[in-house]
């Protein structure tokens, strides 16, 4: 009997402690230390201290400055940079860090921006088209005959850039040897591997996000159309980053040993935070249990969890695992290793500042030019950015994500901006986007990884604040 009472008392104490722990985590942000959450910030020495620099350079954009600060107040950030332009004027320039960020942090700190690099992919193919080296509606096989193998003879440049080529996965995970050779500048094994891959589908309205693979296919195409046969990273540097004076602040791959010291490691939410804020609400509600004190889940996050927990064969997961590199474990950890910074992996592996992303977007918001430097002609810009397939349902991303012929995501956030914004974002939260009508451009990079694809609360806050400032 005494043992039973002891067990009951012990269970009650554990339940209370667990409830207190859950309550503490519920009122915290993803960057809040547990000790700080447990004390309710009553012991400031246990809590992160934010240091925020810069601000709105135009009073009209004070809401955007406040949005940046609010993300830190809610402990959603470790280190972050954000800049925005309107016309030829930079209207906001900010960066911030808290004392939990791993390493020194300044406005020149480099972050892994993952799929935000797809904007550079689209840019380099747009410039190639503007130079007359290729046309969006041409079959890739016109320039690369070996690509026609296994049913790919009709796949056009635009199919590839719009994610409609059916090559979001290859015929098998890419062998480590092919990737190693490619990174060493030995391109033939990669070309053969791509040639041997049949498409999963082709053309029409069938679209499946090429999360990893698009850059490898594009690189092989560009080597063949460029008169000098240069690799994709050289073209990006010479055609885009060099003229924009961004060779130091946007690197893919990293250029020298000194630059490694500027890279901040990427971090993900703690396991406890994810369990309380995300996993528990999903599991309980999926079983019909209504728990009012747990946070609501937005539809995008719920869809992501359904994919990861319910269907490991879903195309979003298989496309993300299309390249089986050493150390891949489904987390950000492998990308914090120094050797991965030297990869030529243009779909998802660039290192950049938020300010660099903003400058790229600003050039596009101004029709292909920045501070008098023209990257492409007005006609080339118009052909590359027309948003003509708004009904494009992406079965990998499970939503409507139209792309222009050159591969720019378009028609995004149409409820906030006339015609929507153009550009793309990266896994975890980075973004490089613009609106031509308002001549507005924004870039953002951070090292606290979010869980959304496009609906990160930090980004939604930025878009709303920018729209309010411009209207």
| pLDDT value at 182 more than 70 | yes
Supply the DSSP string of 101-115, one letter for each residue.
SSS---TT-BEEEEG
Answer whether residue 140 shows pLDDT above 70. Answer: yes
Place of tokens 């993900």: 268
Q: Which residues pair with 266 in a beta bridge?
A: none
Determine if the pTM surpasses 0.75: yes
Q: pLDDT-derived band of residue 287, with 50, 70 and 90 as boundaries?
A: confident
Question: Domain spans of the chain?
Answer: 1-47, 271-330
Work out the average pLDDT over 52-72. Answer: 96
Q: Is 427 exposed, middle or buried (0-12, 13-18, 19+ CB in 10 A)?
A: buried
CB 165 within 8 A of CB 199: yes
Task: Give pLDDT tens digits for 25-41.
Answer: 666 888 888 888 888 87
Distances 297 to 218, 289, 325, 360, 452 between C-alpha atoms, Å: 37, 14, 32, 33, 11
Q: Find the mean pLDDT for residues 335-345.
A: 88
Cβ-contact 82, 71 below 8 angstroms? no
pLDDT digits (tens, 9 = 90+) for 6-27: 544 555 545 555 555 666 566 6
CA distance 319 to 394: 13
Mean pLDDT of all residues in 353-367:
97
Is the alpha carbon torsion for 302, 37, 101, 444 positive or negative? positive
Tell me if 447 sits within 8 A of 267, measured CB to CB. yes
User: How far are the Cα atoms of 109, 190, 220, 224 from residue 187, in angstroms, in the given order?
Assistant: 31, 5, 8, 12
From the CA atom positions of the chain, what is the Rg in Å?
23
CA dist 129 → 122, 162, 364 (Å): 11, 15, 16
The pLDDT of residue 3 is above 60: no
Position 19 scores a pLDDT of: 56
Lowest mean pLDDT segment, chosen from 67-71, 141-145, 385-389: 385-389
């Amino acid at each position: 009997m005494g043992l039973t009472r002891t067990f009951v008392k012990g269970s009650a104490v554990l339940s209370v402690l667990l409830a207190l722990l859950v309550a503490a985590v519920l009122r915290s942000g993803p960057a809040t230390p547990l000790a700080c959450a447990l004390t309710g910030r009553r012991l400031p020495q246990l809590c992160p201290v934010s240091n925020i620099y810069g601000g709105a350079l135009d009073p009209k954009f004070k809401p955007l400055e406040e949005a940046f600060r609010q993300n830190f107040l809610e402990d959603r950030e470790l280190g972050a940079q954000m800049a925005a332009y309107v016309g030829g004027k930079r209207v906001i320039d900010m960066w911030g860090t808290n004392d939990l960020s791993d390493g020194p942090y300044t406005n020149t700190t480099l972050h892994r921006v993952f799929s935000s690099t797809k904007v550079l992919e689209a840019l380099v193919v747009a410039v190639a088209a503007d130079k007359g080296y290729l046309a969006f509606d041409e079959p890739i096989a016109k320039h690369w005959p070996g690509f026609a193998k296994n049913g790919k003879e009709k796949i056009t440049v635009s199919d590839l850039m719009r994610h409609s080529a059916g090559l979001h996965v290859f015929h098998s995970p890419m062998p480590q040897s092919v990737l190693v050779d490619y990174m060493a500048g030995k391109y033939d094994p990669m070309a053969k591997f791509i040639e041997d891959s049949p498409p999963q589908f082709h053309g029409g309205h069938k679209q499946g996000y090429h999360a990893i693979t698009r850059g490898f296919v594009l690189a092989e195409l560009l080597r063949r159309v460029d008169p000098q046969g240069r690799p994709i990273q050289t073209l990006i540097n010479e055609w885009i980053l060099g003229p924009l004076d961004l060779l130091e602040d946007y690197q893919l791959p990293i250029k020298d040993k000194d630059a490694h010291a500027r890279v901040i490691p990427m971090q993900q939410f703690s396991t406890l935070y994810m369990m309380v804020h995300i996993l528990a609400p999903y599991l309980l509600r999926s079983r019909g249990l209504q728990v009012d004190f747990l946070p609501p889940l937005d539809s995008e996050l719920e869809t992501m969890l359904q994919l990861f927990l319910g269907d490991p064969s879903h195309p979003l997961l298989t496309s993300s695992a299309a390249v089986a590199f050493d150390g891949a474990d489904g987390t950000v950890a492998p990308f914090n290793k120094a050797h991965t910074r030297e990869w030529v992996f243009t779909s998802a592996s660039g290192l950049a500042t938020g300010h660099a992303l903003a400058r790229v977007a600003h050039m596009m918001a101004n029709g292909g030019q920045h501070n008098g430097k023209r990257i492409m002609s007005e006609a080339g810009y118009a052909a590359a950015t027309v948003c003509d397939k708004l009904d494009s349902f992406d079965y990998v991303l499970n939503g409507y994500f139209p792309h222009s012929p050159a591969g720019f995501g378009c028609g995004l956030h149409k409820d906030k901006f006339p015609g929507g914004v153009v550009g793309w974002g990266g896994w975890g939260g980075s973004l490089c986007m613009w609106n031509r009508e308002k001549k507005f451009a924004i870039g953002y990079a951070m090292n606290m990884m979010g869980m959304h694809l496009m609906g990160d609360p930090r980004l939604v806050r930025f878009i709303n604040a920018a729209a309010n400032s411009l209207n």
